[in-house]
Amino acid sequence: MADKKFELTEVSSGKKAVLPFRSGTLGPDVIDVASLPKEFDAFTIDPGFGVTAACDSKITYIDGDAGVLMHRGYPIEQLAEKSSYMEVCYLLLNGELPGAGQLDKFTNDIRHHTMINESLLRFYNGFHHNAHPMAMVSAVVASMSAFYHDTMDIHNPRHREIFAHRVIAKLPTIAAAAHKHSLGQPFVYPRNDLSYCENLLHMFFAVPCAPYIVNPVAAEALDLLFILHADHEQNASTSTVRLAGSTGTNPYAAISAGVAALWGPAHGGANEAVLAMLEQIGTVDNIPKYLAMAKDKSSHFRLMGFGHRVYKNFDPRAKIIRAACHKVLKSLGQTNNPLFELALKLEEIALKDDYFVERKLYPNVDFYSGVIYSALNIPRAMFTVMFAVARAVGWVAHWQEMIADPAMRIGRPRQLYTGPGKRDYVEIGKR
Ligand code: ACO
């Protein structure tokens, strides 16, 4: 809207400034506040970045009120039904769906980067067997920067492309090595004849002393979960990758920062927390007690997997995963899965409760994903690692978009200082 303008008035002085509006292809306009310090000697403040756009982006669009999620314009429902994780990776990175030849080449490029340096593999021995896998994964991903530093020029598009392939290809290997380390089992090398998710399951569950055949139902279920987790615009971990990357740091280090941000229970760590919560609730009779705790602010207990900063209607990913749970559990012969039954009942009861209705708190992507991971025998501590593997492509796509943008600047928020005013130093003996 070319003629739309926003006028800001400082009431006491009557001073006015006209702030430009900018419109995207979809979604709310943004007000460009860059001139505020000059016009009014003022910054804006928005703790938690609830209403602040940090960048322009062409990758993912969310309409939280309508429950819409689209990657490069394609609705998540269509991608989940018709696409594959590899195809979604290509789409996120390149902006368009690939042709058959392009998809083959891309898949092949990923396949040929699945091994990790043997020295990197030795890092795992430094961890105690019960180290949380997210700690191992973030440390090993950060350590990749040591292996690819001199050969990584962030301004070279080909280097950026190889970086993308390496991150997507090696994350399953790094995740599986963390899993094997915690079990005390030998590391299983990747197999390039398998698909992305088949290979991940092979590295997780194969042992050298027995044949292992990947269950196609499991690989398909994982592929679907990975599509649903691949990107989610400027979420906390992606914004972390962008912020770290904006300093020009080694991009593997920036991805490691994203892994760290994802780990928290308010973000990707919620999938692990949901399972812990369901196990704690135990039976349907206990649901009212836990709902009462979730509503009581002094309890510090939240209904994990419920609520979202952006979705104030259903999270479309949760809808797809809930439907997939029925299908996957049936295919795996686990129709009477007590955790899934409990989760369904918890959702039903919570969505009738005024507290959750008024605050528009619905199940998010993490509410049901753990049910599928558990059914695939992936241990609870590995759930957030799975999320990190799938989200790596989103982090890389956003990092690439940012670095390729000539307008990129270091990310550097301002603050409202509330500490003491100027005062003079007092010698230690006089304090
Ligand atoms: N259980 C109980 N109450 C909740 C919950 C919840 N899960 N989520 C939000 N609320 C309440 C808040 O207490 C607040 O109530 P109030 O208005 O009376 O003070 C209100 O709903 C708004 O919540 P905020 O915390 O202000 O919402 P915000 O956008 O900052 O937080 C978040 C979003 C972090 C996802 C929150 O809903 C939450 O903690 N959920 C549980 C953790 C979770 O599932 N995280 C995964 C998110 S999806 C992802 O990152 C992949």
- The per-residue pLDDT for range 358-403, each reduced to its tens digit, is 999 999 999 999 999 999 999 999 999 999 999 999 999 999 999 9
pLDDT in tens, 193-244: 999 999 999 999 999 999 999 999 999 999 999 999 999 999 999 999 999 9
| pLDDT reading at 150 higher than 90 | no
367 Cα nearest atom in ligand 1: 44
Q: Give distance in angstroms: CA of 295 to centre of ligand 1.
A: 11
Average pLDDT of the chain to the nearest whole number: 96
CB 38 within 8 A of CB 286: no
Residue nearest to atom 20 of ligand 1 (CA): 359
What span, in angstroms and rounded, lies between the C-alpha atoms of 241 and 229?
16
For 325-329, which contacts have Cβ atoms below 8 Å and span 24 or more sequence positions? 325/368, 325/371, 325/372, 328/217, 328/221, 328/372, 328/375, 329/371, 329/375
Residue nearest to atom 45 of ligand 1 (CA): 266
| pLDDT reading at 3 higher than 70 | no
Question: What average pLDDT does this structure show over 132-155?
Answer: 94
Q: Give distance in angstroms: CA of 29 to centre of ligand 1.
A: 25
Question: What average pLDDT does this structure show over 351-364?
Answer: 96
| pLDDT reading at 2 higher than 80 | no
pLDDT in tens, 410-421: 999 999 999 999
Residue nearest to atom 29 of ligand 1 (CA): 309
Which residue among the candidates 232, 267, 315, 398 is catalytic per the annotation?
A: 267
- C-beta of 307 in contact with ligand 1 (< 6 A): yes
Q: Give distance in angstroms: CA of 242 to centre of ligand 1.
A: 24
Candidates 58, 347, 84; CA nearest to 198 is 84
Judge whether 308 counts as a catalytic residue.
yes
Report the chain's terminal Cα–Cα distance, integer Å: 61
- C-beta of 363 in contact with ligand 1 (< 6 A): no
What the block records as the tokens of 351 is 């969505």
Tell me the pLDDT band of 255, cut-offs 50, 70 and 90: very high
pLDDT in tens, 19-37: 999 999 999 999 999 999 9
> What's the pLDDT score for residue 278?
96
Tell me the pLDDT band of 159, cut-offs 50, 70 and 90: very high
Judge whether 267 counts as a catalytic residue.
yes
- C-beta of 346 in contact with ligand 1 (< 6 A): no
Instruction: Classify 167 as helix, strand or coil.
Output: helix
User: Residue 201 belongs to what H/E stretch?
Assistant: helix 196-205
> What's the pLDDT score for residue 332?
92
Q: Give distance in angstroms: CA of 64 to centre of ligand 1.
A: 14
- C-beta of 268 in contact with ligand 1 (< 6 A): yes
> What's the pLDDT score for residue 5?
81
Q: Can you tell me which residue has the tokens 């290809």? A: 169
- C-beta of 360 in contact with ligand 1 (< 6 A): no
Q: Which among 76, 298, 359 is the best mutation to test ligand 1's pocket, defined by most ligand atoms within 8 Å of the CB?
A: 359
Q: Give distance in angstroms: CA of 363 to centre of ligand 1.
A: 11
Question: What average pLDDT does this structure show over 275-292?
Answer: 96
